[in-house]
Each structure stands twice: as C-alpha cells, then as structure tokens.
Amino acid sequence: MRKIKSLAVHHSASPSTTTVADIKKWHEKREWPHIAYHYVILNNGKVVHTLRDAQEGFGVYGKNKDSLHICVIGDFTKSPVLQKQIDSLEKTILKLCKKYKLQIWNIYGHLELALESHPTQCPGEHLMKELNLMRVRISEKLKKEKNPIPLEIQVETLPNWRSNLLQWIMEIITKLLKR
C-alpha cells in the first residue's frame, strides 16, 4: 500500500451540473485508465469516492505517487464555492488527515503542487481562498485530537505558498523546537 503524504484539492473547471460520469469520460479521452480523482464533491455537497485511496490518481503532473486528489464540481475562477461543498470538503479533508496522520502543511490546492512546466489556476481563486480558511479550522480541530502536531500559522500572511515556503518551514521548525 502506498504512503499518503498529501491531499490535492481541484475544481472541475466546468458547470455546476457536471457529473462524475462526465469527468470519467473526459479522463478516458485522455487515455487514462481511470478517473483522476479519489473523491468528487458534487454541487449538493455529496461526496463520491471515485477511486480507491490505494490507487495512484492523475491530478497533478509529476506529483501523484503519494497524493490523494479531491475535486469539487464547479469553476471557481468565476464563481464562489457553495457552502454545502465547503462543508463537505472540510469534513473529507479532516477525515483523511486523521486517517493518514496528515497536518495542514499536507493540504494543497493543485496550483501549489504544480510543476513550473505545468502551471494551472486550479482550484480557482474562490476555492483557494476557502481552502486557506479551511486550513486554519482544520488545524484547530486537529489540536483536539490525542496526539496532534498543531501549528498556529496566520494563513493570511502567506498569500503565495511557494514564495513563503522557506518562511513557513522556519516557523514550523521554531514551533517544534519549543515543544
């Protein structure tokens, strides 16, 4: 079984009426052997487990070996995320963090993992904003677990994940050394 080290959040970049079957067809046209995402969150908030966690997805070029991929239906470069979808995404991420012993630094928007040779706007600015807020809430919830490694990082001071990575790592190391 593969070791899960990260969660990658995506949007379908499609109308809110998009179905899992639609996504599967798109991915089959790319000649992929299966759907790229492990979980798809529909516009009504329903979470569909589309690919076994043990299988490698195709969500981020060059970064799939140890990642799980969660896709939220909609185009969040244009539209805000529905509250039902936000709630379901947060519950799904929290469940997966607990299952695989992940922390907030293991949660990414697709664009944060993308190689420079494969730039993307996914998951869209609206979902990325919600994901940044969600990381704070998830950190708070993980603090309440038996053996958490919580971090209190001000996400709003990190608008560009990559450019602030060194600063964030230093902050993590400082907090861990204080324990």
Going along the chain from its start, the domains and CATH numbers come out as 6-149 (3.40.80.10)
Q: In this model, does residue 152 exceed pLDDT 60?
A: no
Q: Which residues have C-beta within 8 Å of that of residue 43, sequence separation ≥ 6? A: 16, 17, 73, 74, 82, 84, 85
- Which pTM was predicted? 0.79
> Above 70 in pLDDT, residue 160?
no
% of the chain surpassing 70 pLDDT: 85
DSSP annotation of 17 reads: T
Beta-sheet pairing, 47-49 with 107-109? unpaired
Q: How confident is the model at residue 148 (pLDDT cuts 50, 70, 90)?
A: very low
Q: How many CA atoms lie within 13 Å of 77's alpha carbon, on the beta-carbon side?
A: 9
Q: What tens digit of pLDDT does each residue of 4-27 get?
A: 999 999 999 999 999 999 999 999
Return the percentage of the chain with pLDDT > 90, whole number. Answer: 63
> Please, is 23 exposed, middle or buried when counting C-beta atoms within 10 Å of its C-beta (0-12, 13-18, 19+)?
buried
Distances (CA, A) of 92 to 9, 10, 35, 118, 120: 11, 13, 18, 27, 23
Taking all residues of the chain, what is their mean pLDDT, rounded to a whole number?
86
pLDDT at site 134: 96
CA distance readout (Å), 132 to 26, 56, 135, 157: 28, 25, 5, 11
Burial grade of 102 (CB within 10 A; 0-12, 13-18, 19 or more) = buried
**Structure-token pair, residue 14:** 């499609």
- Greater confidence (161 vs 80) lies with 80
pLDDT in tens, 83-133: 999 999 999 999 999 999 999 999 999 999 888 888 899 999 999 999 999
What's the token pair of residue 16?
């809110």
